[in-house]
Structure 1
Amino acid sequence: MSHDRYGLGRVIGVDDDIAVVVDFGTKTYRISAPYAKLVKL
């Protein structure tokens, strides 16, 4: 995944289709749906 602000990351979890947990290397973020700033690579 790629995020406009955080860069490249890897999805490490999904919370009931409401949010995804993404590891961006230095930090881990929970991003809520809709995933407008995330791009699947």
Structure 2
Amino acid sequence: MTKPDAPKRHLPTSPFKAPVTSAPKHFALGDQVTHDMYGLGRVIGIEDGIAALVDFGSAQVRVLSPYTKMIKL
């Protein structure tokens, strides 16, 4: 069974609360970040909210938005 691509819509008459959508993450040059796979790193480039180039010491990785596995420290 696969997960649908489109988010479920919320009906105004539903007794359940609407799902909370989190604000998109924004990173700036020089921000220290941690990534689930690569560990600690520093943002060295930004591509207009599409991607961030991060230096993790051993490798430079282009992380695409949404940054689900990356957290700003």
Provide TM-score, normalisation by structure 1. Answer: 0.96
The runs of at least 4 consecutive aligned structure 1 residues that moved more than 4 Å come to none
Please list every run of 5 or more consecutive structure 1 residues that lacks an aligned counterpart in the other structure. Answer: none
Provide TM-score, normalisation by structure 2. Answer: 0.55
CA RMSD of aligned residues (A): 0.4
Please list every run of 5 or more consecutive structure 2 residues that lacks an aligned counterpart in the other structure. Answer: 1-32
Q: Larger relative contact order (C-alpha < 8 A, sep ≥ 6)?
A: 1
Query: Comparing both structures, which one devotes a greater share of its residues to strand?
Result: 1
Q: Percent identity?
A: 56
Q: Which has the larger radius of gyration?
A: 2
